[in-house]
Amino acid sequence: MTLHHWWHLALFELEAEGGQRALDIYDQHIGADPQAISDLIDASALLWRLHLRGMELGGRWRALAERWAPHAEDVYCAFSDLHAMMAFAGAQRWHLAQVLLAAQSRRILERGSNSDMTRLVGLPACRALQAFGHGDYSTAENLLSRLPPLAHRVGGSQAQRDVLELTRVAASRLSLRQFFREELRVA
């Protein structure tokens, strides 16, 4: 729980002071040596928020994606899958992203634990995160906008789950920006 408390402090600093202090907390505490899945989730969630704000994160994504790589096919929890996808998209590890999406597709067919949440929320949200990582903001926004009302059941606290809404808002903003750039080029 200590690392998770650092994560909450980093979120506070992100809102109060901006990204640099949050990034310092990531470097010193959260991303230093994440081991448990819960630590990887916190690391992904913080880096993704910083990414949404346009911060340059360098090799942090690559290091985090390497930590997630052994779990790409786990798909035992849609909430974890979302955070693995954040790391894969942030690091542009598209092969690992595809491995995760394929594992989610297989999980849905098994009709067991986590299959419904993966079908309804996990897979479409992971596809949205992948699209966002590719710069396909329109697709990302569309997929996130269509998540069902039960999406809040994917897991985590409200502070953790709001990353999907933050991504949807950023995707919408960036999609509009792309649209107007295209219109200006055509005109």
Q: Which long-range contacts (CB under 8 A, 24 or more apart) does 110-113 make?
A: 113/76
pLDDT at 1 over 70: no
pLDDT by residue (tens digit) across 24-44?
A: 999 999 998 888 999 999 999
Please count the structural domains in the chain: 1
Tell me the pLDDT of the chain averaged across its residues: 91
Contact of 119 with 103, CB cutoff 8 Å: no
pLDDT by residue (tens digit) across 160-184?
A: 778 999 999 999 999 988 777 666 6
Mean pLDDT of 72-89: 96
Contact of 146 with 107, CB cutoff 8 Å: no
Cα–Cα dist 74/145, whole Å: 26
Q: Domain span at residue 175? A: 2-186
Q: What is the pTM of this model?
A: 0.92
pLDDT by residue (tens digit) across 118-162?
A: 999 999 999 999 999 999 999 999 999 999 887 878 887 777 778
